[in-house]
């Protein structure tokens, strides 16, 4: 049975972590399946938006400690998870990734939640950097979590290893919003509907802004964005989009969900 399930519906690919029995831990098997599903999504022109969610009461419980423990008879390679292919991939993909967190999310799961573009979680979900309580540190996931957090908040969360609510995860910047459990699907659907109104190329460019601009000084940032803007205004999407706006009709890429 597959540990990662996919379903494509009118341009929206839902990727579901389905190892409910093991709380969707990042085992070698689940990680391999997940990376393959995400690779396929990035390569498929029919996929406009990707929604990552879970089955069961846990979104992701982090590393599979049974595999990673030094006491395991055959622990396997310690670098079984390629952090760039998993946690770091979302910000480099041209496609928008939405998190639908319907359960608890701790340790390595925090890397998934923070790495996504827009993440909606149910209020009952608990979050936490629990690594220090089993003798390790939130090393790889810090690369995607730290840019979203104030340093003082990160120090407290990393060092304490305590669990906190979804509303606190939103305050810390690790997720976008926390909503009542019964509103989770409606809020995710609203986010996806907005994304389907945007031009694919424009969304890819908007994602680039959040990656490239913070790494540049002011002069370089204005130069890079001016070139990007000029190229987009001269492009096919802008021509089609502005014509549709002036003619009061939907742009050719607009579609509804399902």
Question: Catalytic amino acids?
Answer: 131
Residue 1: name the closest of 30, 25, 26, 28 by CA: 30
Residue 201: name the closest of 116, 117, 98, 96 by CA: 96
Question: How far is Cα 35 from Cα 51, in angstroms, rounded to an integer?
Answer: 14
Rounded to a whole number of angstroms, the CA Rg of the chain reads 19
Q: Residue 223: enclosing H or E segment and its boundaries?
A: helix 218-233
Q: Residue 126: enclosing H or E segment and its boundaries?
A: strand 126-128
DSSP state string for 138-187: -TTTHHHHGGGS-HHHHHHHHHH--EEEHHHHHHTTSSSEEE-GGGHHHH
């Amino acid at each position: 049975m597959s540990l990662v399930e996919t379903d494509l519906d009118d341009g929206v690919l839902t990727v579901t972590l389905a190892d409910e029995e093991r709380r969707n831990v990042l085992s070698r098997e689940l990680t391999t399946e997940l990376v393959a599903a995400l690779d396929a999504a990035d390569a498929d022109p029919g996929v406009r938006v990707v929604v990552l969610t879970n089955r069961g009461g846990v979104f992701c419980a982090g590393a599979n400690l049974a595999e990673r423990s030094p006491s395991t008879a055959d622990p396997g390679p310690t670098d079984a998870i390629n952090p760039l292919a998993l946690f770091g991939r979302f910000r480099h993909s041209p496609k928008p990734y939405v998190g639908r967190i319907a359960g608890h999310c701790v340790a390595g799961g925090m890397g998934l939640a923070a790495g996504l573009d827009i993440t909606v979680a149910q209020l009952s979900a608990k979050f936490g950097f629990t690594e220090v309580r089993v003798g390790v540190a939130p090393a790889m996931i810090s690369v995607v979590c730290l840019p979203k957090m104030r340093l003082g908040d990160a120090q407290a969360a990393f060092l304490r290893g305590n669990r906190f609510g979804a509303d606190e995860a939103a305050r810390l910047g690790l997720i976008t919003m926390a909503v009542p459990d019964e509103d989770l699907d409606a809020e995710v659907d609203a986010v996806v509907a907005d994304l389907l109104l945007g031009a694919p190329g424009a969304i890819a460019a908007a994602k680039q802004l959040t990656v490239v601009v913070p790494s540049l000084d002011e002069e370089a940032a204005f130069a890079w964005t001016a070139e990007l803007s000029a190229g987009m205004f001269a492009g096919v999407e802008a021509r089609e989009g502005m014509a549709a706006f002036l003619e009061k009709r939907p742009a050719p890429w607009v579609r509804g969900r399902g």
